[in-house]
Structure formats: C-alpha cells, structure tokens
Amino acid sequence: MSHPHPELGPPPTLPDGGLRIVALGGLGEIGRNMAVFEYDGRLLIVDCGVLFPEPDQPGVDLILPDFEYIRDRLDDIEAMVLTHAHEDHIGAVPYLLRERRNIPLIGSKLTLALIEAKLSEHRIQPKKLEVVEGERHVFGPFDCEFLAVNHSIPDALAVAIRTPAGIVLHTGDFRMDQLPSDGRLTDLGGFARLGSEGVDLLMSDSTNAEVPGFVTSEREIAPVIDEVIRTSEQRVIVASFASHVHRIQQVMDAAAKHGRKVALVGRSMVRNMGVARDLGYLKVPPELIVDSRDIEEWPPQDVVLICTGSQGEPMAALSRMANRDHPIRIAQGDTVLLASSLVPGNETAVNKVINGLTRWGARVIHKGNAKVHVSGHAAAGELLYVLNLTRPSNFMPVHGEWRHLRAHAKLAALTGVPDDHIVIAEDGVVVDLVDGRARIAGAVHAGYVYVDGTSVGEITDTSLKDRRILGDEGFISVVVVVDSATGKLTAGPEIHARGSGIDPAQFDEFIPQIERALEDKAADGVVDMQEIRRVVRRTVGRWVSDTYRRRPMIIPVVVEV
C-alpha cells in the first residue's frame, strides 16, 4: 500500500505514454474536490470545489484549491468536468475562470444550469457542453465516457477517462439507492462493462467508507417529513442544503398534502430551486409558493419555510433566526427540521444554533433524534460492490478525511487489489499511471487559499494565527518615543489594551520596567528601531506571562524624533 511521505520532492518529467494525476483538494478533507489529469502535455480537470471554514479560521468565508500548480499552464487545459453541482465540487469554478474565462465546462443539464446561475453573479458567461449519461466526448487526448450515478442531487455523473495510459474511472460522489425518488439509478451495468474492458485505476468516493452495509433509501425519509408537518401546530421551518432538490421536493409534497404554503428563504435557496423548477427537476404544485416577505400574513399553522443554514453557517438564514437577527422571528411552538447531514467540524456551530432556536421556544428535529436524513454517499457494502464490479488493477481512494481514505483502502485490499497497487495520496501528491502501475512520483504545493470578503489569497495562515490570538487573548499596544541618534526614551511608554482582561491600572506599576529595559539598551548604544521594538515586545510579554499567564498580541509602536 503506497502512501505519501513528508519528504516528497518535485516530481520528475512525466514519462511518455504516462498519465499524471494531481489532487489539489479533496484528499484528507471533506470538500475542495479538484483533480488534475495530465497526458502528453494536456490537462483535464475534474471538479473544482470549495471547503467551508472551521472555527479556528475566523473571518474566512471559503477555502479554495491553490491553482499555482496549473497557473502557468492554463492554456493547456482542455476542459473541466463537473460531476455534480454541490458547492464542494463547483464552488471554486468562478475563481478559476477569472484566470481563464473560456475553459470549457462539461456537465449535466442541472449541474451546468446551477453553475451558470452562480457565474452570473461573477459576471462570467461560461463556455459549456451539456452531456448525458451514456455519451462519450473527446477533449484533446482525453476520451471521456459519462455514467449516471445516484447522489443527493439530481443529474450526478461518474466519468471514465480513456487515454493510451489506460482507463481511469472517477466515480464522483455516489450512492446505490435502489429506490431513488427520481428513478435514476447508479449505472452498475456500465461499471461492470468497464470492469470487463479493464479499469486501470479506480478513484472512488470514500466519505462513508467506515459505515457498514448499505445507505438507506431516500424514500424512507418522506414519511418522517410528512409526520413532522402533519403534527406541527405552528410554523415548520426546514433547513437544508440549497442544492438538495430531492429533499426539498419531499418537503413541498408534504406541505401541499397538508394544505400549507411554502416560502423559500435565502438567496442561494431561491436561486437554485428556481433553476430546478424551470428545468423540471422540482415539481411545484400551483400556488404553493408564497413570497417570504408576505409570510407573516399567513396563519402559522398554514406555513412551511425552507431555508439555508443546516450547518450553522453564521450568515445563513437559520443562524440569524436563532440569533434574533432575521425578519422571521422564531416563536413558541414553531418546529425546526434540520434535514441535512452534519459536515464534520460543524458540530459546535450546529449545536449553538439548536440551542438558540430552542431558547425561543422552537421544537428542533434533527438527525440525532429522528430519521430526517440519509447520506448521499455509498457505505462500505456499496463500495465493495463497485470494487468487485470494476476489478481495478490499481485503486486510489478519494473524497474523504484520512480515516475514510484508509478504510476504503482496506476494503480494496479485501477484494483482492494488491497492497502495492493501492495508492493513498493527499492533496498535492503526484500519482503517475505508467505501464499499468499507479505510483507516487512526488509532490507539488497544494495549500489553502482563503477567501475573505472580496479578498482572495491575501489572508495567510499567519494572519489567521494573529486573528486567533486576538480573539482568544486580546492585544496590548505600547507607544514609546525615542531619540533616533541616541536610542534614549524621550516620551512614553503609553500602554493601551483591548480584550486582554488586564486592569489598566496595573500598567502604571509595570511602566518603570519598560523604561529600565530601554535605558539599558541605550547605554549599550542600541539605536536600531527594530531592536528597540523587540525589547519592548519581550519585556511586556514576559511581564504579562509571569503575572497573568496570558499571551495577548503585543504591538510595540516606536516613534523616532
């Protein structure tokens, strides 16, 4: 079983006839999925998604893949295949298209419609090619065959990439729901046919590799949603991903059955459901939808609201309702249904929202206390099924954290894939498929690129460290005025503190220590302003640490005269 090593260096030149695969995201994490395939100097990209920030990344809106590896080769990109329209697979597309606007986007009807709606907000008109399952299209040296897969959003696709180096089957996100609400099954026959032809490398979704058995059918959720809406005496507020068309269809069906009106809340929810309805993926009964601005005019027992915010996102509608920062006010007796999975890392934020909603008198129903969600990702039994159908010569688990990747690798070994043909990589690790063998060949940089408002890539890990310190410990600024010729103190020190929890009166007793430290440096002939700043920072830092056992950010300001 091959795995990355921290000392991996840059990869050598790709051998003639070899296929190179570099994941710029999606390995060792849930999100930011992006894989770059290279053959004969040409590139094919599969997905280009975002990762959502965790609590220790304050102020960050989104995390993008680092495009540095391909930045000098944008003209070599033949196309970008989008397997489906979840944000962790398409959210970074606008940022890549800013660097080359005419990269062809390849995807299903719904996928392209949702990305086009997103791109319109960035004033980008994409070049696109709509494909359906069963079709094959050639992009430079890449012969791509598209296969239907069932997922928690309609129109998801797997892609088989043929080059002279062999066949790579990339499943995208998938599950094997045998009774899908839209009737669209994962194309197991197509997987088996490819297995007979010879899959040289299988890249398969690992998100649920630790979960035994098979995922429950989406149809089993409908009766639970129906029961919640039937028995609720006041408003029902359903929080879901803005792309989960199947789940929202179930909510609308139950609302219509029980005579309730539906209001969509949240820009992305309104946009995506409008696209899904226009394309026929969402069936909306006549006069069911009402404007959310008019919702107060309807009796509470006649209303269902569908909003964003199931992951506790601070600016999403549900979080704002919980914080009393939204026009829609949670009232005693309201029912809130969280109809989504819990993305790892969001537990604290979601629990905070649940507590906030409960505080205002709402009954909160979630995956922990009712069967209101089934996963869109194949469990171990389904992954074994695909491994046995495709019988890959080489296997590379993708889309998951480390524990998911390793669990999936063990499943592959159980089905007979030799250990030395199983490649566990992480973001930036270069995998070459040469002469029928997949091996790690090196590594390239594949760090995080942070989006903060309109800023892209300007926020660094150092900036985030500073933000965490400011948030946890506060800051102390110290202003001193020194003689530029002698280094002697001429005015100050003047100390200001915010969020440090230190009584300002205590600084009066400490100021003489700063004065003595500066006098000693001046006596030694030190006139370098940078060194004087260091003296102030060290002196203040030592005193705060010894006295309060705290480590606030210390900002020395030295003014020369």
Residues forming the annotated binding site for substrate? 242-244, 373-377
Residues 10, 442: contact at Cβ < 8 Å?
yes
Q: What is the spatial distance between Cα 130 and Cα 217, in angstroms, rounded to a whole number?
A: 28
Question: Active-site residue 421, yes or no?
Answer: no
Question: Active-site residue 226, yes or no?
Answer: no
Gyration radius (Cα) of the chain, Å:
28
Q: What is the spatial distance between Cα 49 and Cα 53, in angstroms, rounded to a whole number?
A: 13
Q: What is the spatial distance between Cα 425 and Cα 431, in angstroms, rounded to a whole number?
A: 8
Q: What is the spatial distance between Cα 77 and Cα 93, in angstroms, rounded to a whole number?
A: 14
Coil, strand, or helix at residue 418?
coil
Known binding site for Ca(2+): residues? 59, 61, 452
Nearest to 408 by CA among 429, 375, 384: 384
Sort 530 into a burial class: Cβ within 10 Å, 0-12 / 13-18 / 19+.
exposed
What b-and-e string marks burial along 360-373, b requiring 16 or more CB atoms within 10 Å of the CB?
A: eebbbbbbeebebb
Backbone dihedral angles phi then psi of residue 473, each to the nearest 5 degrees: -120, -10
Nearest to 551 by CA among 535, 559, 540: 540
Residues 183, 281: contact at Cβ < 8 Å?
no
Q: What is the torsional sign of CA 540, 542, 545, 548?
A: negative
Catalytic residue among 170, 246, 377, 408: 377
Residues 114, 90: contact at Cβ < 8 Å?
yes
Coil, strand, or helix at residue 274?
helix
Measured CA distances, 237 to 253, 272, 426 (Å): 15, 18, 39
Total residues belonging to the chain: 561
Coil, strand, or helix at residue 226?
helix
Q: Angle, nearest 10°, between helix axes 529-548 and 505-523?
A: 140
Catalytic residue among 177, 205, 253, 427: 205
Q: What is the spatial distance between Cα 112 and Cα 378, in angstroms, rounded to a whole number?
A: 24
Q: Which residues contact 551 (CB under 8 A, 6 or more apart)?
A: 469, 473, 541, 544, 545
Nearest to 173 by CA among 346, 50, 30, 341: 30
DSSP of 421-465, one letter per residue?
A: GBB---TTEEEEEETTEEEEEEE----EEEEETTEES---HHHHH
Q: What are the residue numbers of the active site?
A: 205, 377
